[in-house]
Every structure is written in C-alpha cells, then in structure tokens.
Amino acid sequence: MTQVAVPSDKPPIRRILSIDGGGIMGTQPASFLTSLEEDLDRPIGEYFDLIAGTSTGGILAIGLAMGLPARDLLDLYVRRGPHIFGQSGGALASFAGDAWRRLKHIVTPKHDADLLRSELSTVLGSRRIGDARTRLVIPAWDADHRGVYIFKTAHHPRLKTDYKRLAVDAAMATAAAPTYYKRHRTAEDVGLLDGGVWANNPIALAVVEAVTLLDWPASSLRVLSLGCVNEVYMIGEAPGWGGLAKDVTRLFMDGQSHGALGMAKLLTGHQYEREAIFRCCPDVPKDFFNLDDTRKIAQLKGMGASSARKERPRIEPVFLTETAESFKPIYTVKGIEP
C-alpha cells in the first residue's frame, strides 16, 4: 500500500528520475516504468520530486510529470511508433519507404515532424509545462545561437517563462534529432534541436538543478537513471575515418553519458555513491537496435519488462514506497489564454 510522505525535522529524501534519449528505443524505459507501475496505486511520476529527460526520454518525462500513467506512454511507442516513423504499412511498403527515406536523408531530414507532433498532441493535448505535477528539466539545443536551452517548470522565482509554453512544444524541441527531424521553431522563432546534442544522458543536469537552484542537500538525493540500451562494441586500435564513421556518433554519446554519470556521482558525494545513483540500461549487441527502426518494438518492450523484474528489489524500497511531496510551482498557468 502506498504511503504519503510525512514531514520530519531532517531533510526529506528527494527522488529524481532521469531518462536518456534514444528514439524508438525509448520503448524499453517506457516498458520498464510500466512494469514497476503495475504494483502502485498512483501514476509512477508522482513518486519523484524531479524528472529530467532528453529526446525520447524528454517525451516520457513530460508525460509522466503531467500525471499520465506509464502504460499510456508505452502505448504511444508500441501502437503509434511505426506511424511516427513511416513504417506502418506492410513489408513491401515499409521496404520501399525505408529506401526512399535513406535517399532523402542525404539532403533533407529523414522524417516528417508533423507526424510526431500530431501523435504527441493526441497524448499531451493543450497542456502547458505549468500543468506539470512534478518538477521538470528538459534540455534542447539552440541551433541558431549555439547554446543550451532548457525547459523548466516554475520551481524557482526566476523561472518566469517556460511554464507558459505548450508541453508538446518542449517535447518537439528536445526530440528534434539533427538529420532526423527539422529544427523546432518556438513561438518566439527560436530554432531548437534535440537535447542529445549536449545532454543525451541528463543525469548531471538533473543533479546540478537539485543541488543549486532547488538547494536540496546532496546527501538527500536518490537518482533513478534509465538508459534506453547500452550497445556493447569495441573500437579498433587505430581506425581511419572509414572504420570509425559509423561509430563516431555512438562514441560521442557514450562519452557524454559516462561523463554525466561521473559528475552526478561526484555531486552527490562519494560516500553516498552506492545509495544515491541507480543506473539501469540493459546491454545489447552493437547495431541490433536503431533510433528509428520500429520492427523490434516488441523486443524492446520485453527487455524493459524483464529489466524491471530484475531491478525491482533494489529500486522499490528506495523510490516507490511513498509518493513525493506535492509540487507547488511559483507561478501557475491559471488565466493564460489557450
């Protein structure tokens, strides 16, 4: 039976959920969270004080913070993923469509952002970031001015803008992967790209937000960090461009992820490392999954459920015994015109 947090004299434990980017491979963490949620009497997002997510992880983070059950978000991937990535036809149609998209990908973005926006709008509706029930941190990249751009709830007095923005716009921005989607234009005409450009694993961003802007004691933090998949591969001793070209993006993303994890461990304190950071990211063979290949959604779903079953004994006592304290934003969306 879920309990409600009871105030005490010592700083409360602050639970953070961080979800990596990874395209359709976000099916795995969505399934992971759905499996954990089955034994809860509240949506799993209500058990966290702060949720951070990048790209596909940003879509999940926004949905969870809005109070949506994880199973509804999993349904988005399983049922609508093939449509979003143009692979909903039969085998022949999918083959022809893939061939056309690969050719088009040489000179233009590979996928139609309008399809993604339509599906996200069905799930998120007209909700604004200010409608979130949990604090949010969603990274994007300002491609026009070469700088970071982070969507946040109004959890600090200086955060006076983002809470007014539509949740679907934040989701579109953080998921606008270069070459896969065109940059997303905000209402102010700022061109934004996928937050994975600089923070595909947003754990360090989340912990920095917690200990600085939110002023939470490092010793009070517990972070559940979910990756999509961890590809196992080796790089040759001295590869040329031809041998490394296919792996260079993976190499940079791995470096960023490990660096972010290292920073998060330092920020939470070495003495708390074993109890503060919980990383779940199943190993898979190299190239078995791809960002936009929806043919293996069922395997990703099964992997998430299996991983949740394995990890539940260590996760449940730390993160899922009681709901988080109610989030009261500094500014509210009441009175904002739709």
Q: Which domains does the chain have, with CATH numbers?
A: 12-86+103-318 (3.40.1090.10)
Q: What are the DSSP calls for 200-264, one per residue? A: SSTHHHHHHHHHTTS---GGGEEEEEE-S-EEE----SS--HHHHGGGHHHHHHHHHHHHHHHHH
- Beta carbons within 10 angstroms of residue 315's beta carbon: 17
Most confident of 32-41, 78-87, 101-110: 32-41
18, 31, 55, 257: the active-site residue: 55
DSSP category for residue 13? P
pLDDT, mean of residues 20-26: 96
20, 131, 169, 194: the active-site residue: 194
Task: Average the pLDDT over each of 75-79, 282-286, 294-298 and give the range with the smallest value.
Answer: 282-286
The Cα–Cα gap between 71 and 301 comes to: 11
Return the H-helix or E-strand segment holding 308. helix 297-319
Query: Closest Cα to residue 136, out of 160, 167, 157?
Result: 167
The Cα–Cα gap between 209 and 122 comes to: 30
pLDDT in tens, 152-165: 999 999 999 999 99
The Cα–Cα gap between 233 and 287 comes to: 9
Q: Residue 232: pLDDT above 90?
A: no
Task: Average the pLDDT over each of 92-106, 222-236, 273-287 and give the range with the smallest value.
Answer: 92-106
18 catalytic? Reply is no
pLDDT in tens, 125-135: 999 999 999 99
162 catalytic? Reply is no
Q: 193 pairs with which residues across the strands?
A: 141
pLDDT score of 186: 94
Does pTM surpass 0.75? yes
CB 74 within 8 A of CB 25: no
pLDDT score of 271: 55
Query: Closest Cα to residue 222, out of 4, 75, 12?
Result: 12
